[in-house]
Amino acid sequence: MAPTVAKNILIWLPSPLGDAILSTPALAAIRSHFADARITFLASPVIKAFLEPTSSCDEWIENKESFLSLVRRLQSRRFDTAILLKNSFGSALTVFLAGIKRRIGYARDTRNILLTDRLKPKRQNGNFVPVSVVDYYLNLAQRVGAESRDKTLSIGVTDRDREIFSITFPEARKSSGPLIILVPGGAFGPSKLWPPQRFGELADQLCKHYKACVVLSVAPTPLEIAISSRIQENATWPLLSLANRPLKPGPLKALFERADLVIANDTGPRHIAAALNRKIITLFGPNNPAWTQTDYPHEIQILGQADCAPCDKPRCRPKEHTCMLSISVSSVFEAVEKMLGTTK
C-alpha cells in the first residue's frame, strides 16, 4: 500500500502499562514518518503520566469521559486518520461514530466492519500465535508507511521527578551499595507471582553480600501492599517499600532510572526498567516470553519449568504453583552475580 497522506492523526494507546511502553518504538516510527502531521495520543491519565514527556505526539486527550462525550470530542477535532493500538470493539466504534475517514487496527474483537484498514493477527487452531507486542504495534505503523526495525523502548524523566524521588527516598542517595528494585506483584494475576518468602530470602542475600539498598516496588493495592508486608516479614534486613512511601508515576520512573538492577515478575515495571536502560532479571512462569520479547541486551530471563507452562493463564489451576516454585533463590542470585559481579 502506498504511504498515507495524513495531517491530523489520532493514536489510541493500549490500556495495560506494559503494552503502552512496548508501543513506544511504533509511536516513534509514526512520529518520524509523519513529521509534518499533528499527532494526538488518546490514553488513560495513568498511561499519559508514564509516557510523558515524549516527542512522539503534539497533544494528549485523556480518556476519562463518557462514550458519547468522547465521540463528540473526536468529531470536533476532525481527525483524518485513527490508528488503534488498543484492541477493543469500543475503540473502533468510537472512531467510526466520530467520522474519522481512515481507521487502522487489528481485525479482532468483532470490529472488522468498523475499520477501513484491517491487519489480521496470527492464529493457529483458533488461538493467537505468540508474537512480540513490539512487533505487533510496529506492524500497525508499517501499515501507514512508517517502517522501522528499531525496537528500543523509551520513556522520559523530568528533573522535577528526580527531585521528588530524592526527597522521598534519601536512603537511595546515601547508600554505599547498589540500588536494587524488587517487583513482586503483577496486575495480570497471581499465577505469575514468585513467592514473597523467596523475595524476602533474596533481599537478605542482596543486603548481606552487596550492602544493597533494596526497594520493594508495589502498587497501592491491598494485594500488593500485603505482598510487601510478607516480604518484609521474611527478611531480616531492613527494606524500603512503596507500600509505605508511594510514588506517583513521574517519581517512580526516577526511582527506576537510578536502579543498578531490577528483579521483577513479568509485569509492567519490567518494561519501565528496559525503557530506562537498566539491568533486569525477569522471572517467567505461566507467561510465554515470546509475547514481550524486545531483544533487550541487558536482561536475564529465568524461565520456570513445569509440564503445563507456559499456559498464559492469570490463575494457576494445579494445586501447587510448579512453574514459579521451580525458580530457586540461588538461581536468581547467580543471575545477580552475572549482572553485578561476584562478591568476595
Residue 290: the pLDDT is: 87
C-alpha cell at 75: 468529531
pLDDT of residue 73 exceeding 80: yes
Listed residue (112, 89, 88, 84) closest to 100, CA to CA: 84
- Domain covering 8-143, topology: Rossmann fold (3.40.50)
Phi and psi at 212, nearest 5°, equal -75, 150
pLDDT of residue 320 exceeding 80: no
Residue 176: the pLDDT is: 87
What mean pLDDT do residues 239-248 have? 96
Confidence at 344, pLDDT banded by 50, 70, 90: low
DSSP H stretches of helix in the chain: 17-22, 24-33, 45-51, 67-77, 89-97, 133-143, 159-168, 170-174, 196-210, 222-234, 249-258, 268-275, 322-325, 329-340
3-state secondary structure of 43: strand
Are 197 and 322 contacting, i.e. CB atoms less than 8 angstroms apart?
Answer: no
Listed residue (251, 254, 248) closest to 219, CA to CA: 248
What mean pLDDT do residues 163-192 have? 88
Q: How far, CA to CA in Å, does 223 sit from each of 190, 239, 244?
A: 10, 18, 14
- pLDDT, tens digit (0-9, with 9 covering 90-100), for 88-120: 999 999 999 999 999 999 998 899 999 999 999
Residue with the larger pLDDT of the pair 3 and 199: 199
- Domain covering 159-340, topology: Rossmann fold (3.40.50)
- pLDDT, tens digit (0-9, with 9 covering 90-100), for 10-32: 999 999 999 999 999 999 999 99
Confidence at 175, pLDDT banded by 50, 70, 90: confident
Cβ neighbours of residue 240 closer than 8 Å, sequence gap 6 or more: 169, 171, 172, 213, 214, 215, 216
Average pLDDT over the chain reads: 92
Same CATH fold, 159-340 and 8-143? yes
What mean pLDDT do residues 175-184 have? 95
Residue 1: the pLDDT is: 43
**CA 231 centroid distance within chain:** 23
Confidence at 125, pLDDT banded by 50, 70, 90: confident
Every domain of the chain and the residues it spans: 8-143, 159-340
